[in-house]
Structure 1
Amino acid sequence: MNAPLLQLDSVSLSFGGLRALNNVSFQVEPGEIIGLIGPNGAGKTTLVNACSGVFKPSSGRIVFEGRDITGLPDHRVAHLGMARTFQIVQPFPRMSVLENVTAAALFGGGMHNMAQARAFAEQQLEFVGLAAQAGKPAATLSLAHRKRLELAKSLALKPRLVWLDEVNAGLNSDDLGNTLEIIRSIAARGITIVMIEHLMKVVLGVSTRILVLKSGALIADGEPARVIRDPVVVEAYLGAHYAADGERIDG
């Protein structure tokens, strides 16, 4: 049996007297698209931050591709092949769209010179549908295009796993559909995805598995159709209509 791409063993994280993560354990296999859901304040972004090196766990172990990365700083984790987007999108505003992605390619994509990084960045912008905006200042982009820029920057790191932190939040239905197609295309590249998402129609539309956090603890882990009918998940997050009809998705 192949080793998991990512493994968490009893990971906890406290801020003073507040325990934000409580003995969280799970594995991520190569090629999965995992939906990470839970109420506001459940610890979802904190979990991403712990895995990506922003926060050091108080206890437990995080292993990525067989290497213990517990407590490694975020830049080293990124170099190892784990990328992430941010819920609040903050590109370098005065730099062009292309320059933003080129910087990411130079930092973590293994590029040897500026020309190589620029060419690779152009490929990522084409992939996410931003080629026409390459020369524009990042500050001029719409919300939907800034979120695509986040995706392009993460892909410029050549990740094997990417965390998507609410990349669909605030998008209209057309932009949402476009982003979902990009997510599917990222997965088709062989990149493993864990995405924080509140829109259940998105989670059920693309996820192969769902993790559910509540108050920093993992309360469910499994195939989507089973998880959304779990009484604990229904009570903690989804609401009674999911128990009555798991196919009726109203985000």
Structure 2
Amino acid sequence: MTALLRFSAVSKKFGGLLALDDVTVTLKEGEIIGLIGPNGAGKTTFVNVVTGVLAPSSGTVHFRDKRIDGIRPDRVARAGIARTFQIVQPFPRLTARENVAAAALFAGGADTPAEASRVADTHLAFCGLAREADKPAGSLTLAGRKRLELAKSLAAGPKLLLLDEVNAGLNAAEIDDALRLIAEIADRGITVLLIEHLMKVVSRSCRRLLVLHQGRLIADGPTADVMADDGVIEAYLGRRYAEAQRGAGI
């Protein structure tokens, strides 16, 4: 598979805090990769550096062989990187269609509002929100707002999609639906980085797993291997989790 995103010796400092510490990693086209780690591990900083919200203190970031570290978030989005947010905040008084059309118009390359609306309807249908297209975004359920966030990100036309805690607050059936959508997105050729705390979600959806701890990348490999790694168990999963997984034959 072709390299899509390359982090090369990336560090990020906030005063005396080293939030990312010499992180080197490559994401390849067509992957679904999980990113896990304890609170404060550097996951959000990683995403913010990828998307241009933060510039690295050192190191470089390349996307599709072009250097992107330090450029504005809007330019990163137009280059083909989109993200969702754990706490979804749509424009509540705008309709679902208008929310998605805004992403299509300003990041997805739609030339006119009419074209943006057509793009919005396509992505709303894909995300199961066709019947809610004319409803105010603020009236949607949490699961609906999560789907709207996903539709907005897809309307930007990404090659790389960063999903930040997309399953947080959802019930088991809603999580199953979300995982089906993620698999379908990957089948379209979009690389997915799933930032997640639910290990059952990671184990079901991701073949590859990255683990951050205290700003350092402590593991990168096949999901089953990483979840059995003693360093990952010690830093994040815990012995009880590992023993429970072994007892369940996972």
4+ residue runs over 2 A deviation: 241-249
For 1:10, the equivalent position in structure 2 comes to 9
AA at the equivalent of 2:184: S
- CA RMSD across the alignment: 1.2
Work out the CA distance in 1 between the residues paired with 2:209 and 2:39. Answer: 17
1:1-251 to structure 2, matched below 5 A, reads 3-244=2-243, 246=245
Work out the CA distance in 1 between the residues paired with 2:117 and 2:127. Answer: 16
Question: Offset of 1:246 from its aligned partner?
Answer: 3.7
AA at the equivalent of 1:190: G
Work out the CA distance in 1 between the residues paired with 2:247 and 2:18. Answer: 34
Kept in 2: contact 1:228–1:242 (CA 8 A) = no
Question: Offset of 1:94 from its aligned partner?
Answer: 1.0
Work out the CA distance in 1 between the residues paired with 2:48 and 2:149. Answer: 16
Q: Deviation string for 1:165-204 (max 9, x for gaps)? A: 0000010111111111111111111100001000011001
AA at the equivalent of 2:111: H
AA at the equivalent of 2:55: K
Instruction: Please identify, of 125-134 and 106-115, the stretch whose mean Cα deviation from structure 2 is larger.
Output: 106-115
Question: Offset of 1:239 from its aligned partner?
Answer: 1.2
Work out the CA distance in 2 between the residues paired with 1:12 and 1:140. Answer: 41
Work out the CA distance in 2 between the residues paired with 1:185 and 1:24. Answer: 30
Work out the CA distance in 2 between the residues paired with 1:247 and 1:101. Answer: 43
Give the secondary structure class of the aligned counterpart of 1:13. strand
Work out the CA distance in 2 between the residues paired with 1:135 and 1:222. Answer: 43
Work out the CA distance in 2 between the residues paired with 1:243 and 1:139. Answer: 40
Give the secondary structure class of the aligned counterpart of 2:120. helix
Work out the CA distance in 2 between the residues paired with 1:44 and 1:175. Answer: 24
Percent identity between the aligned chains? Answer: 56
Question: Offset of 1:3 from its aligned partner?
Answer: 4.4
Give the secondary structure class of the aligned counterpart of 1:243. helix
Question: Offset of 1:248 from its aligned partner?
Answer: 6.2
AA at the equivalent of 1:75: D
Q: Deviation string for 1:202-241 (max 9, x for gaps)? A: 0010102000000111000000110001000000001113
Kept in 2: contact 1:3–1:66 (CA 8 A) = no
Question: Offset of 1:242 from its aligned partner?
Answer: 4.3
AA at the equivalent of 2:21: N
Question: Offset of 1:244 from its aligned partner?
Answer: 3.1
Give the secondary structure class of the aligned counterpart of 2:3. coil
Give the secondary structure class of the aligned counterpart of 1:90. coil
Question: Offset of 1:93 from its aligned partner?
Answer: 1.0
| Aligned positions, number | 248
Kept in 2: contact 1:229–1:246 (CA 8 A) = no
Q: Deviation string for 1:95-146 (max 9, x for gaps)? A: 1110000000001111111111111110000000011111111111111111
Work out the CA distance in 2 between the residues paired with 1:248 and 1:25. Answer: 34
Work out the CA distance in 1 between the residues paired with 2:82 and 2:197. Answer: 21
Question: Offset of 1:148 from its aligned partner?
Answer: 0.6
TM-score, length of structure 1 as denominator length: 0.96
Any unmatched runs of 5+ in structure 1?
A: none
AA at the equivalent of 2:47: V
Kept in 1: contact 2:2–2:29 (CA 8 A) = no
